[in-house]
Structure 1
Amino acid sequence: MSAGAQHEDGRDRIPATVITGFLGSGKTTLINNILHAQHGKNIAVIVNEFGEISIDGQLVVKDEQAELVEFNNGCLCCTVRGDLIETLDRLRTRKGDLDGILIETTGLADPAPVASTFFVADAVKDSIRLDAFVTMVDAVNLEMNLEQSGEAVEQVAFSDVILINKTDLASPEQVKAAETRVRALNPLAKIHHTANAEIDIAKVIGVGAFDLVQKLEVDPEFLNEHEHEHDRAVGSFILEESRPIDVNRFSLWLNELAQTRGEDLYRTKGVFNARGFRERIVFQSVRMLTTMRPDRLWEEDEARLSQFVVIGKNLDRAEFAEGFARCAVG
């Protein structure tokens, strides 16, 4: 462990990296890239998802050296903050055989209450060190995300390391504009450009970038208790279907929705039992950008249930349920 992981009195503390960023910016992809890297470290991963179930938790690679903890009953910055403290308190007992903790927040999290947890919770602060806030930025959709979400602005402004992601999908002009916008919000953070969240993990883990004094200069109230209220018009719901999904019907339906409700449809994702495929099909979309790919084979004793999560503003669940049902066959 690096010298930066030492407590003031010499005791080692487990470094924790918080990975944040607006919906669909690439947080889970970054975590998977870290877990795939040949670093030989024992890492605990905490995934918090804005929704009734954890699709992202299902997509985090299973690794013998990684432990996965999922929270999908609220947001770490408010309703499940106590759960985070409890989990970190449990993980601190592994000091010595745990090399690091990765925490993926929801795309709608306010970073300040999450960060303050490491300084105000007695059960945490003596054994776990907040190493850095790493914020993922979607180069294609950054401006719209910042306009629609105060949390997106806070995530960029609060970060220590910023990854301007999806540079392979953005134009050079979009990438340049994204960096200019990010730098205006946060002149001190280290910025990296990434495609598919691929980066040398030494640039995001163990960097020792979090500076409490600096954060207090920016926000003197940082360590004080304060309530964070999400936009009540923004919500999520899950749709489930036991019949196979026709991916062509689904694509046509979602494309129509993107054309008519694009500004309100922030993020959709799911794992499908698709007609004609032996594998699970993983679907993800961020506004107008969509991907669909085969995942692992279904297990023999596994229920072949399609689960589709929708996140957005002023969305009618019944309307989406009816449309999703029309995509099923049999």
Structure 2
Amino acid sequence: MQVYEAQNSKIPVTILTGFLGAGKTTLLNYILTERHGHRIAVIENEFGEIDVDSDLVLASDEEIFQMKNGCICCFVDVRNDLIQVMKKLLAQKDKFDHVIVETSGLADPTPVATSFFIDPEVTDAVQLDAIVALVDAKHIGQHLHDKELDGSSNQAVDQIVAADRVIINKIDLANEDELALLETDIRGLNQTAGILRAEYGKVDLGGILGISGFTPSYVEERAKLLDLDGHHHHHHHSHDPSVTSVSFTFDQPFNQDRLLTFLKRHLSENSETAFRTKGILWMAGDERFFVLQAVHELIDLRPDHPWRADEAKQSRIVFIGRKLDKAALEAELRNCLSESGG
């Protein structure tokens, strides 16, 4: 856990996830061949999926690193393998300015995200830019509503919950009513992720690369949080009733030390079920607002710009996960409020 100022010199990393058949390789090929101004290094795994076409790779300036020992996010030794590949990349970082990690279609991307905060050398050099989840407009519904799953092992759900951007791919295979229903399902799982549409993986790359989606700007994140009306504060989902989100608003500043202590304890004790935590926070004794992002037990809390003179200071925080106790969370958060005011 750390609190630090934003460092623009860090190399952004995009985690590309999505269920089997969503079109990740097609999107990756599109990214590698488009004129977007980025020099991209790609890390991918071989977990029963088609590799990036070798001719395409040879025709590009990008470097492809294969994970030979299975899914990069399943086991600790494999996660260490990812860290070693990143160190190898960093030794030649003058050759690229962005990294894309493509995960297996059966992977939960959040352990991959935490990998970039384990090793100090990697943490100092890279910054997680966004988790981008690709979904198949035609077939994702059957995975989200899979009755064979018990609500605790649905990778398709976990991928959407973790995402900062969701791309609905293959929109040519669904009608507008089906797409609207799918967007409602996605929004039920993830209230704040941006949702884009694509055919054959072709999407505005400005919407997924270099977006600071994991540590979003105040303006973007606050606008999303302000959209969380009261009826969203405890939203149950018909396809996976164990995944819920609860959100809170406070007009009194937090004591930063107490809040960090609580968040560290809460997320450590609930690391398997606390998927995402995010917020815009008012801290006592500080004229800047703070942006909170957390994935499982990983906490990223950093100050941003000063509050504008024409806006009311206020904190908004959202918890997404399983087995969320809204009353208990609210009581803990209230205990973290400052008695002295702003």
| Among candidates 10, 14, 39, match of residue 11 of structure 2 | 14
**Cα gap change, 1:181 to 1:9, in 2 (>3 Å):** closer
State whether structure 2 residue 47 is matched by structure 1 residue 50.
Answer: yes
Amino acid in structure 2 at the alignment position of 1:87: V
> Who is 1:97 aligned against?
95
| Among candidates 125, 128, 131, match of residue 126 of structure 2 | 128
For residues 221 and 133 of structure 1, the distance between their equivalents in structure 2, rounded to whole angstroms, comes to 14
Structure 1 residue 154, shift from structure 2 partner: 0.7
Residue-by-residue CA offset, 1:194-232 (whole Å, 9 max, x unaligned): 1111112111110111039994458674339xxxxxxxx
Deviates more, 1:104-113 or 1:165-174: 165-174
The DSSP-based 3-state class of the residue aligned with 1:119 is coil
* Contact persistence 2:171–2:199 (CA under 8 A): yes
The DSSP-based 3-state class of the residue aligned with 1:75 is coil
State whether structure 2 residue 42 is matched by structure 1 residue 38.
Answer: no
> Who is 1:193 aligned against?
197
* Contact persistence 2:107–2:155 (CA under 8 A): yes
For residues 59 and 177 of structure 1, the distance between their equivalents in structure 2, rounded to whole angstroms, comes to 38
Structure 1 residue 91, shift from structure 2 partner: 1.1
For residues 119 and 73 of structure 2, the distance between their equivalents in structure 1, rounded to whole angstroms, comes to 14
Structure 1 residue 122, shift from structure 2 partner: 1.7
* Contact persistence 2:29–2:52 (CA under 8 A): no
For residues 192 and 74 of structure 2, the distance between their equivalents in structure 1, rounded to whole angstroms, comes to 27
**Cα gap change, 1:207 to 1:185, in 2 (>3 Å):** same
The within-5 A match list for 1:223-302 is 223=298
Structure 2 gaps, min length 5 = 147-152, 217-262, 264-274, 279-292, 300-342
For residues 101 and 133 of structure 1, the distance between their equivalents in structure 2, rounded to whole angstroms, comes to 12
> Who is 2:72 aligned against?
76
Structure 1 residue 74, shift from structure 2 partner: 1.4
Structure 1 residue 72, shift from structure 2 partner: 4.1
State whether structure 2 residue 245 is matched by structure 1 residue 170.
Answer: no
For residues 163 and 95 of structure 1, the distance between their equivalents in structure 2, rounded to whole angstroms, comes to 29
> Who is 1:29 aligned against?
26
For residues 295 and 13 of structure 2, the distance between their equivalents in structure 1, rounded to whole angstroms, comes to 23
| Among candidates 56, 65, 75, match of residue 61 of structure 1 | 56
Residue-by-residue CA offset, 1:231-276 (whole Å, 9 max, x unaligned): xxxxxxxxxxxxxxxxxxxxxxxxxxxxxxxxxxxxxxxxxxxxxx
Amino acid in structure 2 at the alignment position of 1:223: L
Residue-by-residue CA offset, 1:175-195 (whole Å, 9 max, x unaligned): 111111001000100001111
**Cα gap change, 1:159 to 1:221, in 2 (>3 Å):** closer
* Contact persistence 1:95–1:127 (CA under 8 A): no
* Contact persistence 2:39–2:98 (CA under 8 A): yes
**Cα gap change, 1:32 to 1:223, in 2 (>3 Å):** same
- Find runs of 4+ consecutive structure 1 residues off by over 4 angstroms: 217-220
Structure 1 residue 66, shift from structure 2 partner: 0.4
> Who is 1:87 aligned against?
85
TM-score (norm 2): 0.58
> Who is 2:187 aligned against?
183
TM-score (norm 1): 0.60
> Who is 1:303 aligned against?
none
CA RMSD of aligned residues (A): 2.5
Structure 1 residue 94, shift from structure 2 partner: 2.6
The DSSP-based 3-state class of the residue aligned with 1:55 is coil
For residues 9 and 190 of structure 1, the distance between their equivalents in structure 2, rounded to whole angstroms, comes to 22
Structure 1 residue 61, shift from structure 2 partner: 2.1
Structure 1 residue 56, shift from structure 2 partner: 2.0
State whether structure 2 residue 122 is matched by structure 1 residue 153.
Answer: no
Structure 1 residue 40, shift from structure 2 partner: 3.7
**Cα gap change, 1:188 to 1:128, in 2 (>3 Å):** same
Residue-by-residue CA offset, 1:102-155 (whole Å, 9 max, x unaligned): 111000111111111111222311001110011001111112122346111010
> Who is 1:319 aligned against?
none
Deviates more, 1:214-223 or 1:28-37: 214-223
Structure 1 residue 170, shift from structure 2 partner: 1.3
Percent of pairs identical after alignment? 40
* Contact persistence 2:41–2:63 (CA under 8 A): yes
Paired residues, what number?
A: 216
For residues 111 and 40 of structure 1, the distance between their equivalents in structure 2, rounded to whole angstroms, comes to 26
Structure 1 residue 70, shift from structure 2 partner: 1.1
